[in-house]
Amino acid sequence: MARILVADDEPDLLRLVTIRLGRDGHEVIPARDGGEALRLTLEQLPDLVLLDVTMPVMDGHQVCQAIRAQLGAAVPKIVMLSARGQESDVRGGWESGADGYIVKPFRPSALAAEVARMLADAGG
């Protein structure tokens, strides 16, 4: 299956997503803040990155932009996770370079479906 980096500073949500994606057969790389997410993405080159928007060190928008700037053509699909679901928030995610945007709280099955869609779009 795929290698997926999940970045969220909420331990319970990080655990939930890690367990769900692991059950689907994916290798999950957890990150607890934006700096760790960027470092691990550059080191491990995951197939997909799930980024919380509001994290310490670097927010999800900053991480997304840095990944795109540093990896160029090798950039993975990036999906933002956020409790902010207004149209302007979603637009901000697209503008920072995200490929998808999921509003919290979400159903684990909805997350799994979006992950499958993103991986299919990426050819993985």
Give the domain extent around 76. Answer: 3-106
The pLDDT score that the predictor gives to residue 124 is 52
With respect to residue 119, please indicate whether it lies within any of the assigned structural domains: no
Number of domains in the chain: 1
With respect to residue 123, please indicate whether it lies within any of the assigned structural domains: no
Q: What is the pLDDT along the chain (124 residues), one digit of tens a residue?
A: 899 999 999 999 999 999 999 999 999 999 999 999 999 999 999 999 999 999 999 999 999 999 999 998 889 999 999 888 778 777 877 888 899 999 999 998 999 999 999 999 877 5
The CATH number linked to 26 is 3.40.50.2300
String of DSSP letters for the chain: --EEEEE-S-HHHHHHHHHHHHHTT-EEEEESSHHHHHHHHHHH--SEEEEESS-SSS-HHHHHHHHHHHHGGGPPEEEEEES--SHHHHHHHHHTT-SEEEESS--HHHHHHHHHHHHHHTT-
